[in-house]
Structure 1
Amino acid sequence: MTTSEAPGAAQPWILQFCHGYDGPFLDCARQYAALFADTRYKVCTVYLTGKPSAEVEQGSASDEVIFLDYSSREVRGLKLKAIRDIKRIVAAHDFKLCIAHRFKPIYIALLGSSLPVIGVHHAFGDYQRLSRRLFANAFKKRLALLGVSDAVRDDMRTCLPSWPAERIQTLYNRIDIAAVQAGQVSRSAAREHLGLPPDAWVVGNVGRLHPDKDQATLIRGFAQALPQLPKGSLLVIMGSGRLEAALKTLANELAVADSVRFLGQVADGRRYFKAFDTFALTSDHEPFGMVLLEAMAAGVPVVCSDCGGGREVAGKSGLMFTLGSAEELTSCLLRLSVELPQAQPDFISGLNERVIALFSDDASRDVFWNLPMVVCLRLS
């Protein structure tokens, strides 16, 4: 993709416009900047919200980073000042394309520039509102959409039925595998940090304690499996949220409170995934399932509900159960507790192969540059 520029030609740039850098979105910015590594393009990443940060600037992996530093309140309504800011930024370089994450940056980029815009969507339902559908249709000629999973893509296609399929595509989230694995500590160090016994069989879960994550099914499935699991088995839930008290009450009612550990928020939690013998995700509508990907990178077998993007991440390398079925989850946990001791090397090999093949920067770069919406822009 490397191309030399004609003498005197302006350096071509890509504008990446992000709503913010909280949670997983800093790495999302890095992921999309990495698509242009070793090409003729420079990348300018702009954050609509969030204070200036040297750490974020470094983590963005971009040639230029701009913090507009708006509050959430300031970007409600028409967002006229932000539109003027984007016009000013676009005038500073020879931009060829804008990649905008989430609806507000898409809206601002389309109104504040004449650039072709690829809008990246990380959640379901972004075009269920009539106003958003009308807006997207008004800019249909220079807007294309990416979902972080086929599930998100299909949701958008349903909401925008008149759009040709090639204008709404999938580009999976991904990780810098080497960096993630380098940051993960050993099993023994992870268990020591989390206060877990070294010899327990541990089922891990990471996420908000929220109805969307359905940890109630997780606790029920674990409780049913516990009598047949290895002695001293534990369910470890990393995260906080409004359902914490209710979930603890459920564990008490099912007489498994001593075997369920609520760890709360753990800083840099993915560093400690090797503490788990298996990882379970019970979400009822997961757009992608980044925690599954991080667990797989740690060599931890995964089990997840058969909805949303989670099943796309795990594929045949994981076990699936019907959403909300504690009984099927029980069967998955029992199967893993029996099969893993004999088959762990094969499990780990399969996990690594899948992550590299589908969810690495290199794999996603190949997909991106061959997307119809990108090919037609003639960027290469």
Structure 2
Amino acid sequence: MSQFPASILIVLHDFSLGGTERVATRLAAVWAAKGVHVTVFAGSNDGPLRVLAGDDVEVVIADPPIPRSRGSRARLARAARAFVAARRFDGVFVPGNYHWPVAAALSGRGIPVVAQVSAALDKPQRGRVQQWAFELRMRRLLRKVEAVVALSDVARDQANRILRRAVATTIALPALGDDVAPPTPVPGTQPAVVLAAGRLVPEKGFAQLIEAFAMLPAAMARLVIVGDGPEADTLRRQSEALGIADRVELAGYVADIRPSLDTARVFVLASDFEGYPAVVVEALAAGRPVVATDCTPATRLLEAPGAGMVVPLGDSAALARAIAAMLDRAPPDPVKLAALVAHHRIGDVADAYLDLFAEVRA
């Protein structure tokens, strides 16, 4: 890597359990291990993910702290700007759509800013007026950043169109550790385990998944949903009303989904929309095929033979048919599925970011 960046600043609101925060803290640890001085400036110390950054990353908390609240992102952006005025960094990493106000505050000040796109840029659910407003806001917040990182070529092209300049590049989501365990054989236990995971909120589609699961023969499978959230009681009542409560398990939050994947026959993503969900990558890395709604560019991974199936949004019957079809097929080769996502290992991804920082500095 030419012009190796000596220091990188990452700005986070806090260390909450989110995909953006997980990616940022894990990248921070890897960059620090490669000899970069990494500083995380956070609005508050809330959340459990600070530990992922390790001991070699400098963590600075805003004084006074800025907990999440109405207007807190604007306050975080102002605090970050004041912090940068007193320090010198070779580059700033702004992770995810949520933190874009920080990119607006720090770009154009002589320090290269790399902003990441983490969530879907074009959601049919927004409607034309809301989509227009979203794009206008995105152009305003990212108009001066040196680079935008998208997690797929689809999102890259969308970002370049919205921003009206060729500023975006694709770098894979670092969903896997370099020491990720090899895939295990698909279990042949009956009934088979159909696994889903995510925060229990309406847009994740768990209600539709339970509706689809009720269409399957009782002896075919049982459904395990890993995650927690405000919809938990509603989903339990739905399972009871459909007469399948004995076949649906709401397992709650787990720190590591891999043990659950090892027991599963197939993984299901039933969301209404997603950016680039790490869980699809993790499922394939574990050697498990995926049934997904057409909610994310990550479904392109499922075009490989045996990798899975994609169904239309909002079609419970199609979702049920796809799950049944995957369960009726012979299990795919887990090693071949894992090979599809090898480029998501964090070491190579961290190097790609450092190369990008070197490029924008030049």
Match of 1:352 in 2: 338
Match of 2:27 in 1: 32
Displacement of 1:117: 0.7
**Measured at CA, do residues 321 and 60 of structure 1 come closer, stay the same or move farther in structure 2, by a change above 3 Å?**
farther
| Contact kept? 1:34, 1:361, Cα under 8 Å | no
- d(CA) in 2 for partners of 1:39 and 1:275? 35
| Contact kept? 1:27, 1:59, Cα under 8 Å | no
1:175-230 alpha-carbon deviations (Å, 9 max, x no partner):
34345539x99999xxxxxxxxx653110111122221112221232222325xxx
> Could you list the runs of 5+ residues in structure 1 that have no partner in the other structure?
5-10, 189-197
**Measured at CA, do residues 246 and 116 of structure 1 come closer, stay the same or move farther in structure 2, by a change above 3 Å?**
same
Secondary structure, counterpart of 1:104 in structure 2: helix
| Contact kept? 1:284, 1:323, Cα under 8 Å | yes
Match of 2:349 in 1: 364
* Amino acid across the alignment from 2:359: V
* Amino acid across the alignment from 1:70: I
**Measured at CA, do residues 319 and 44 of structure 1 come closer, stay the same or move farther in structure 2, by a change above 3 Å?**
same
* Amino acid across the alignment from 1:145: V
Secondary structure, counterpart of 1:70 in structure 2: coil
1:103 matched to 2:100? The reply is yes
Match of 1:168 in 2: 168
Displacement of 1:237: 1.4
Match of 1:243 in 2: 231
Structure 1 vs Structure 2: percent identity of aligned residues?
A: 24
| Contact kept? 2:33, 2:56, Cα under 8 Å | no
- d(CA) in 1 for partners of 2:47 and 2:241? 47
Displacement of 1:66: 1.9
TM-score (norm 2): 0.79
| Contact kept? 2:135, 2:162, Cα under 8 Å | no
Task: Tell me the matched-pair count.
Answer: 345
| Contact kept? 2:115, 2:148, Cα under 8 Å | yes
Match of 1:193 in 2: none
Displacement of 1:333: 1.7
1:19 matched to 2:13? The reply is yes
1:226 matched to 2:221? The reply is no
1:256 matched to 2:257? The reply is no
**Measured at CA, do residues 45 and 353 of structure 1 come closer, stay the same or move farther in structure 2, by a change above 3 Å?**
same
TM-score (norm 1): 0.75
- d(CA) in 2 for partners of 1:240 and 1:299? 25
Match of 1:194 in 2: none
Match of 1:7 in 2: none
- d(CA) in 1 for partners of 2:147 and 2:192? 46
1:29-64 alpha-carbon deviations (Å, 9 max, x no partner):
2443367467664322222332498x7255357542
* Amino acid across the alignment from 1:200: P
- Indicate the larger mover: 123-132 or 11-20: 123-132
* Amino acid across the alignment from 2:200: L
**Measured at CA, do residues 244 and 154 of structure 1 come closer, stay the same or move farther in structure 2, by a change above 3 Å?**
farther
Match of 1:124 in 2: 120
* Amino acid across the alignment from 1:213: K
Secondary structure, counterpart of 1:73 in structure 2: coil
Secondary structure, counterpart of 1:234 in structure 2: strand
- Indicate the larger mover: 273-282 or 313-322: 313-322
